[in-house]
Amino acid sequence: MKIVRTDMELETPFVDETLRKNGHDLVLLPDGVSEEILMKELEDCDILLMCYTPITKNVIESAKRLKAIVKYGVGIDAIDIPAANARGIVVVNIPEYAEETVAEGAFAMLIALAKKLPTLQKQMNSKAWVWPSSEWLGQDIAGKTLGIIGCGKIGSSMARMAGLGFRARVIGYDPSKTKEELAKRGIQKYDDLSEMLKECDFISLHSVLNKNTKHLIGAKEFSVMKETAIIINSARGALIDELALLNALEKKQIAGAGLDVYSQEPLNKTDHPLKKLYEMDNVILLPHLTFYTHEAMHRLEVETMERITEVMENRPVTIKSKDPRLQNQPQIKL
């Protein structure tokens, strides 16, 4: 079979080597590949592996032999799923490989900002030592309130780390979960987002991105937060109105932010709308890599090969995601 893998910068040596060893024609394309080049390569492609590259209706309609689109990752917003369904092309992702991993990354940002580690490290690098003064006072996590927005598996892992691990009070906002469901996860449910935010010392976003959650956190929400609040986003950039976040940080409406995701990626220091964030000592910027550990990548590659094998062997493709866009795909005979 001919298999095209986009976003070759994200290395998947096990997948690549396995496919080549088994005699398949593997074509690797870089991040930012043009739609024209992608369409050309997909004309005789059987399976498409993608991570970030937009898979548009035009791209899908050019792929006359395509049987499946495998997202080697979680988010599926870059794929025109209705167009794929109309062509009888199955779409599948790998949703569970980094649940604990991403929660650990989010919690690492929270701890670092609460303890002012980035600014202390900067001072140590420039002055070799820091004497205790009020500007270096950090915060305890124990006894504080962490608000979780989106209380699925990653959010629940974050809640467990904070509650059981650090004795924080954990509250949560998730309209899809009942009070009883969240209580079992150590989370006190709030139905009103603004009321929850008023109580939070720390806020961590773990929600899916859809039309209801885009810009869930904006100017109104920042206005009710504590001036000492720290916000963490390791889910999707567009959950936050990022210009409102920038404004809130500049006006010191909140104390800090840890970000691993952005509406426009990659971030850069020249013409990105958020370039001012680089100048702020109370902000941690990560390059969308909280998922990137040895263990998580091993799980990702193994599961990706399992889905590819199902397609190759004309078996039903395992859909682990609870996203209705994937769950509600018509029955497809490969």
Residue 110: is it exposed, middle or buried by C-beta count within 10 angstroms (0-12/13-18/19+)? buried
- Reduced to 3 states (helix: H, G, I; strand: E, B; else coil), residue 230 is strand
Other Cβ atoms within 10 Å of 131 Cβ, number = 7
Separation CA 263–CA 258 (nearest Å): 15
**H or E segment to which residue 220 belongs:** helix 219-224
> To the nearest 10°, the Cα dihedral for 37, 39, 44, 49?
90
Where b means 16+ CB within 10 Å and e means fewer, 251-279 reads eebbbbbbbbbbbeeebeeeeeebeebee
In 3D space, the residue among 70, 92, 96 whose CA is nearest the CA of residue 319 turns out to be 92
Widest Cα–Cα separation across the chain: 68
Note if 265 is an active site residue: yes
User: CA-CA distances (angstroms) from residue 289 to 155, 235, 262, 296, 306?
Assistant: 17, 11, 12, 11, 23
Any idea what DSSP says for residue 202? E
Per the residue annotation, which of 87, 288, 299, 325 is the catalytic one?
A: 288
Locus of tokens 């039309």: 211
Catalytic residue from among 11, 17, 265, 306: 265
Beta bridge partners of 93: 71
Whole-angstrom distance, CA of residue 237 vs CA of residue 223: 19
236 is a catalytic site residue: yes
Catalytic residue among 185, 236, 242, 307: 236
Sheet holding 25-28, edge to edge: 25-28, 2-5, 47-50, 68-71, 90-93
Active-site residues, by number, are 236, 265, 288
